[in-house]
């Protein structure tokens, strides 16, 4: 299992906060488009585990 740190001293996390760059409506649109693109991409793999396909549903 890989562990991901929740905090790294000296790292400015504000640069990863989408709210600093976009309004909420735009963020929601970006997320919806990304999920749609992922769903369309995984349709190309018919033998894929169903749980993987469900992970991108919304």
Position 26 scores a pLDDT of: 98
DSSP string, 8-34: -TT--GGGG-GGGTS-HHHHHHHHHHH
Q: Is the pTM of this model over 0.75?
A: no
Please say whether the beta carbons of 29 and 47 come within 8 A: no
Per residue in 2-54, pLDDT tens?
A: 888 888 899 998 888 999 999 999 999 999 999 899 889 988 998 988 888 88
Please say whether the beta carbons of 42 and 52 come within 8 A: yes
Please say whether the beta carbons of 16 and 24 come within 8 A: no
pLDDT of 58 above 70: no
What whole-number distance in Å separates Cα of residue 24 and Cα of residue 36? 18
């Amino acid at each position: 299992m890989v562990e991901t740190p929740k905090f790294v001293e000296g790292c400015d996390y504000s640069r990863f906060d989408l709210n600093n760059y976009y309004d909420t409506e735009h963020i929601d649109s970006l997320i919806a488009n990304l999920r749609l693109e992922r769903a369309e991409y995984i349709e190309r793999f018919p033998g894929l585990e169903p749980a993987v396909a469900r992970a991108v549903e919304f």
